[in-house]
Amino acid sequence: MKPLKKIYCSSLVVIFPFLFIIFLFMQSCSPDKKKDHVIEIVTEVMDFQSVDTIPSGWNTFNYINKSNETHFFLLDKYPAGKTLEDAEKEVIPPFQNGMDLINEGNDEEGFAEFNKLPAWFFEVLFSGGSGLVSPKNSSLTTIKLEPGYYIMECYVKMANGTFHNAMGMAKALIVTEEDSGHLPPEASVEMTISSTEGIIINVPIARGLQTFSIYFKDQITHENFVGHDLNLVKLSDDANLEALESWMNWADPKGLITPAPDGVTFLGGVNDLPEGTTGYFEVNLEPGNYAWISEVPNAASKNMLKTFSVED
């Protein structure tokens, strides 16, 4: 018995490290592993609750909107030396003053206010984020980030016309030199968006969990100073597409303001990304009617409003 036990024990000594290595290997390959790396951003009321520092490279964000208003998060990469304090002093006031004047019917004076934006504001690089998210919904969005100083912001407006970023929805986020080491998810549906062709998607969309890749073939500054992004919207039978389209322009007094149009539920998406980059968006689709739309003026004429159905 003794020699047998000895053989048994010594084989365990050999097998255990081997099994342990296999275990580690399986852990690193497991698809669930990715979920450990998801960066959570929560809005309770008019806030962003998240970590302050994240690695560069590919990051997946789960933006959870627990509030009663529609929000998004957009990451603005700031030029060297500019911070949240500079934004509060030099960027938010011209936008708010301009918007207030436009709301009062003084369009010309309102747009003139935007000329007071500092020159450095035009060096801010919109670097992605979620699409619009209705109350009690969330958006799982994956983007690649360069190291730098970012402001996480939402510029939906309260019912009185005040931008959310003036009410607490502007938060500094540091992206470090250290790379996350993550890879983007594998897309089940590939899409392209550009100023010249709008939203391009060539396959029917099936029900269930879908991972969309959105390639930003170009990026421009639209009439309302922002670029194009991609938002997924669930449509009820009473949804009015024209009302949705006009709501998607923040510079309109009735645009991007609480309440959101009736009959639409915003399910997230990918916010403005730079030309030539790709963002990913994962969502579980129930059968029903949906639309893709960009948060730009006159989306339909730019082919940036497209409806589709998910069959049972």
Q: How many CB atoms lie within 10 A of CB 4?
A: 8
Question: Which one, 205 or 230, has the nearer CB to Cu ion?
Answer: 230
Phi/psi for 202 (5° steps) reads -110, 5
Q: Which runs of E-coded beta strand occur in 79-188?
A: 125-129, 137-145, 148-153, 170-179
| Position 77 contacts Cu ion (CB under 5 A) | no
Contact residues for 57 (Cβ-Cβ < 8 A; gap 6+): 144, 145, 179, 180, 181, 182
Least separation in angstroms between residue 250's CB and Cu ion is 11
Least separation in angstroms between residue 70's CB and Cu ion is 7
Question: Which one, 67 or 106, has the nearer CB to Cu ion?
Answer: 67
Least separation in angstroms between residue 47's CB and Cu ion is 9
Q: Tokens 């670097």 sit at which residue? A: 127
The stretch among 67-75, 190-198, 235-243, 285-293 that binds Cu ion (CB under 5 A) is 67-75
Question: Which one, 191 or 248, has the nearer CB to Cu ion?
Answer: 248
| Position 234 contacts Cu ion (CB under 5 A) | no
N residues, the chain: 312
Phi/psi for 5 (5° steps) reads -60, -40
How many residues lie near Cu ion (CB under 5 A)? 5
Contact between 250 and 157 (Cβ < 8 Å)? yes
> Binding Cu ion by CB under 5 A: which of 77, 157, 164, 234?
164
Least separation in angstroms between residue 55's CB and Cu ion is 26
Question: Which one, 87 or 191, has the nearer CB to Cu ion?
Answer: 87
H/E run at residue 296: none
Least separation in angstroms between residue 224's CB and Cu ion is 16
| Position 82 contacts Cu ion (CB under 5 A) | no
| Interface with Cu ion in residues 134-163 (CB under 5 A) | 154, 156
**Is the link from the previous residue into 259 a cis peptide, with omega within 30 of 0?**
yes
Phi/psi for 57 (5° steps) reads 85, -155
Contact residues for 15 (Cβ-Cβ < 8 A; gap 6+): none
> Binding Cu ion by CB under 5 A: which of 71, 82, 144, 234?
71
User: Interface residues with Cu ion (CB under 5 A)?
Assistant: 71, 154, 156, 164, 169
